[in-house]
Structure formats: C-alpha cells, structure tokens
Structure 1
Amino acid sequence: MAGAPPPPEIGLLAYPQAQLAAIHGLTDLFVIADRLARKRLGKSETLLRVSHLSLCETDGRVVRTFDTSPGAGGEPVVVILPPSLGDPAAGENRAGLVDFLKVRYAAGTVLASVCAGAFLLAETGLLNGRAATTHWTYADDLAQRFPDVQVDTNKLIIDDGDIITAGGLMAWTDLGLKLVDRLLGSAMMIETARFLLVDPPGREQRYYSIFSPRLGHGDAAILKVQHWLQKAGLRDITACAMAAKAGLEERTFLRRFRKATGLKPTEYCQHLRVDKAREMLEATTRPIDQIAWDVGYDDPGSFRKVFIKVIGLAPGDYRRRFGAETTSAHSP
C-alpha cells in the first residue's frame, strides 16, 4: 500500500536582499496554522509544510535550506517571493531564479509575490497581460520597467488563481492568511488570524497610500500648473483656468496634462482634495461637512462619493480607523 502523499509545501524564496522578517514571519504563520489545524482535527501528521529556498552558488540549482518536513519528497505547491530590502529593480544573479520560477509554474506551482518581490516575478514574463500589485511607492517603476503588466496598487492582494501578488511591505500577513484559507480552509484562516491578532484578508492598499503626483515628466507648462494647484487651494478650479495658467489652448492642455500626469485634470484635483481631507480626518475633529467645504466641495454628498471612490472607505470610516483619539469627547 502506497504511503500518504506529502503535505502541501509552501516554499519561501530567499533571493539576494530578500526581507528576512517576512520569510521568518510567514514561516511562523504557516507553522501556527498547521499546529492549530492538527489540534482541531486531532491529527499528528503535518498538514502544511514550509521550506526556505535558495540558489546554490556551486551548481546554480534552487535548493531547500530549511524544511519543516525534511525528506518528505514532492515539490512546492506555492512559491512566495518576499519583499526586498534592496533596489527592487536590481537584476544581479537572478537568471537561475527566473528559470526556476518558470519551471515550477509550468509544473503547476502557484507563484506569489509580496511588495518588491513583484519585480522578480515580472522578470519571468508571467505577469504580462495580467493585473498585479506591489507597494504603491514602486508602482511607476514597475509599470515603466514592465509595460505589459497592468499595475494596480489600489488593491492589497490580487489573486489570479495561479499567480498572487500582494502590495505593502507587511502584506505578507494578508497573503499568508489567504494561502491558509486556500490550503486548510476558511475556518483555519480565521482561527489563525485570531491567534495572531491580525485582520483577515479584505483590506485595500489605497487605505494607506498617499497621492504622489508625477513631477518628473519634463513638461514645464504642466509642471507649472501642478505647483500652482498645490499652493492655490482647490475651490473653483476649472480646466479653463489651468489651461490659462499653463499658457496653452484648452484642448492642447488637456492632452498634455493627461500624458504628463496619467490623470485627467478633474481626477488630479480630486486626488489632491482627498489627500488634504485625509490629513484633516487624521489630525483634527473638524466635522466632515466642514472638511468637504475646506477642500473645495460645496456638496458634502459629492465629497463622500469621491472620497469612497479614491480611498475605498467612507470619510467617517477612515477617521475611525486612522484618526487621532478624541479623548475630550469623553471628558467629565
């Protein structure tokens, strides 16, 4: 009678300058999930295997340097590329890793990345034509280096079935829980999240990202308007007024503005207004309707719709999550 198949293995790829905190944190998360699952099911055998994978310098193979089930055989069902602490676009000594990832993907392994790990994943070409996320500060770099990748940093995780990308530096917790859900079930995912005191997956990266306008595009007329918008306040700003400030005919201005910034002027102003509103929601107890007025909206309802569209949370929910504590409201 054949022996039991090996437990599903999650391989953590320790490429050069990979963040060790994420590798060890994910290891702990999966080990805890395995322990909780075995306790719940009354089983003694391992249900989830974790390994660390590194490129061997002598023969160029990717080998296990750590394994919670040594000698179990089989290959990883998931390989995770953790964040990088170095230049995310650095490509030194990656050819062997890229080849390994392609081979594993062709054999049915799910590939996953966290934060800057998306750059190494994109080098395989497997993200071409797909949506992917990374840390919001790396979005432009990833899009410029890999133009065939549809970069979307609004989302913290994009699960495309056989490829999963996660955004922020600490999004490995979200990715880890999503994989626990996939491999051990939702009940164990919730129990693991509860044990670790972390939120289950469902957050969005746009809750945390700050609007960073493109300023290095080289169009002096558009840059002049961008600087003006930062200083002038945003009430009663029109495309006509912006075009006049740029010294351009309006149609020409609209075309050049979108090419330079990646946004229509109305969208750009919305992002600026929402960013100012976020600062007020975080740092003050000013009423939301007053904040709407202060950042240029006459209609509080319109402000709320735009805020939700850009941030993914209503202004009140954003304040409850990120605002300063208002202890004065509870004072005697």
Structure 2
Amino acid sequence: MRLIGLSEVLPGEPVTNRDMAERFGLHERWLDRMTGNRSRYFCDPHSSEDVPKNTGDLATSAGRQAIEAAGVDPAGLDFLVLATGSPDHLMPATVNTVADRLGINDIPTFQLSSGCAGALTALYTARGLLAAGLRRGLVIGADSVVKLWPADRDLKRIRPAELANFALFGDGAGAAVVDADDEGPGLVVEHLLLRTVGKGRAPAQVVRWYGADGAPTVPGPNGTQVREAMGEEDYKAIEEHVPGLACMVLEELAAATGWRVPEVEHVLPPQLNGAMTEKIRQRMGVSAEQAVSCVADTGNNGNALPFIQLHRALRRLEAGPGTGGRVLVTTIESSKWVVSGLALRHRPEGVRDVA
C-alpha cells in the first residue's frame, strides 16, 4: 500500500486557552499547565458557509483535498473508509453522505467507530481491500467534539477537572488516498500493526449515547443535579498505561523493519495532549527533532490526528534534502485499549501537497 495524497482540515480560527478562560471561567495558566495545549479548533453551526460545521463537512473537505493532492479522479476510487467517533447521525452513515458530496457512487463504503487508533484501523482495513484486488481508495479520519461537551451546558457548574478533560479536545479531519501499486512515488507502507490489548482492563475513555430520553441527571457540585456528560476520561489510567504501550509499539516497528529508532528521520508519537505527548516522546527515546507532533496547537481531534501528523511529516520530507526518509507512527487508543503502529518509507517526487 502506498499513500499518494494527504490532507488536513481544521475549522475556523484557533481557540486559545485565553479564549477558553474567558468563555468558561477557567484559568489560562491552569489550562496551560494541565493540558499543555495552546489552542484547538471547533466547528460552529452558525459560522460562515465555507467553514466546516460538523463531522461530515470536515470529512468531505479533507477527502476533497486529499484527492486533489493525489491528482486522481474521484471516479477512479474503488472504496471509501471513514473512521470517526462522532458521526453526524446514527443513520444514514456519515461516510455515505460524504461519498455523495464528493460525487462518489457505486463503490463499497465503510464507517469505523473508533478513537485515537481509528486512522490506522482505517488504513489497516484499506490495506486488506487492496490486497483483495481493489486498486485505489480514499481513507478519512474526522471528529467533531462539540456534541461531547457537558450536556448541562451551564459549564460553570461543572467540576474544573471535568472541564479540563474537555479542553483537551478539538475538531478536525485528515485523509489519504491509498494505492495498491507500491512501485510509484509517495509514502510506501513497510509495516502496519493493529490489535486490542484491553482484555480484563476497564475502559479509560467512554462516550455515551442516550437515545430519545436524553442524558440522566447525576449529582453535581455543591449538592446540585446536572445532566450526565456524554464523554469522560480516566486520565490516571491513561497516564499509567499509554507511555509503556507506545514504547512497545515503537520497539515492534523497529524490530519488524530493522530500523534503529535513533536513525529514523520522523517519529509520530501518540497525541493525547501537549503535556502527555512530551512525556511520552522522552520515554520513547525520541528526540525533539525527530518528533512530529501537532496536538498542542490542534487539540486532540481523535481520528484525524495521525493523518494531520502524516501531512506535516510529508511537508518536512519534501522540504528536506536527500531521499528515502523513514516514518514511524504510534497510536494508542484508551477507550478499550487498542495499539497500532505504522512504518513508511518516503519515495520522493511523489505526493503532491495541498496546503
């Protein structure tokens, strides 16, 4: 499998920690310290027409840009895969509305429900489809998290720790056009791993769906009753397990490819938040020059993040001297504990980039 076009989409203008502090009564310096994130992006249903307003808008824009970057005709695609943890509806599947908007028809489509490992889960699926005889496809990761904010909406009544959790996230999308012919230019997949490691372990991230009756009420601060939040994270469990799992994946990729990690030009660590990602990078033994991180500026946009990292790694590869640049990608999903990793080799003068 070869990646021949990449994209990233972030909606609207960045929302800084100062903006969050003013909007929700949080402290800017506290957010800096707790999250390590400087900004994030949110879809706004009331924004101007050309700004994405939901997951489908984000995915459509990312898909269109990846197709343009690859220089291919949408009619020549053989499949479409969308990974998301925040579809616009349960039905119709968001992937099918995206296909319609892109002018794609008469091909199989797949929507994968996932989180941080979703992008590589989608690429794993795409590789299987290519191995089965299909020639070319489009893979998208997209998430919009506004719908996951506390259902009560009176955010000043929510515990600060819970608000900090939500301040980690942001909206975004990324995409890749993938091709079965690995002889051409682009990012050639050398190894791809994906598996669950959550047997007997409690989920560390939960996103609920309440159905027609809506969220139940639960005890809130100072004896109040508030509506239960749609999402929550066990940050202590994430802090305990993710760094070690990331190191494990990196070691497996190195063993499978024969690459020495200190010599690999670009390493993409898990993107939980700016503070945690920096700790993981150091534990992995990856230098700051090797690391390709974006979460401190984009927020944690879930299924989009590895595509955004790959898009930015590609810019580095195309701007740098020499040939044969290597890329290692590690992603860890804490919802029910999924590990995934990807090793790619850059073949120059291939992937055309769309800024």
Give TM-score, length-normalised by structure 1. 0.25
> By percentage of residues, which structure has more strand?
2
Higher relative contact order at CA 8 Å, sep ≥6: structure 1 or structure 2? 2
**Structure with larger Rg:** 1
Give TM-score, length-normalised by structure 2. 0.24
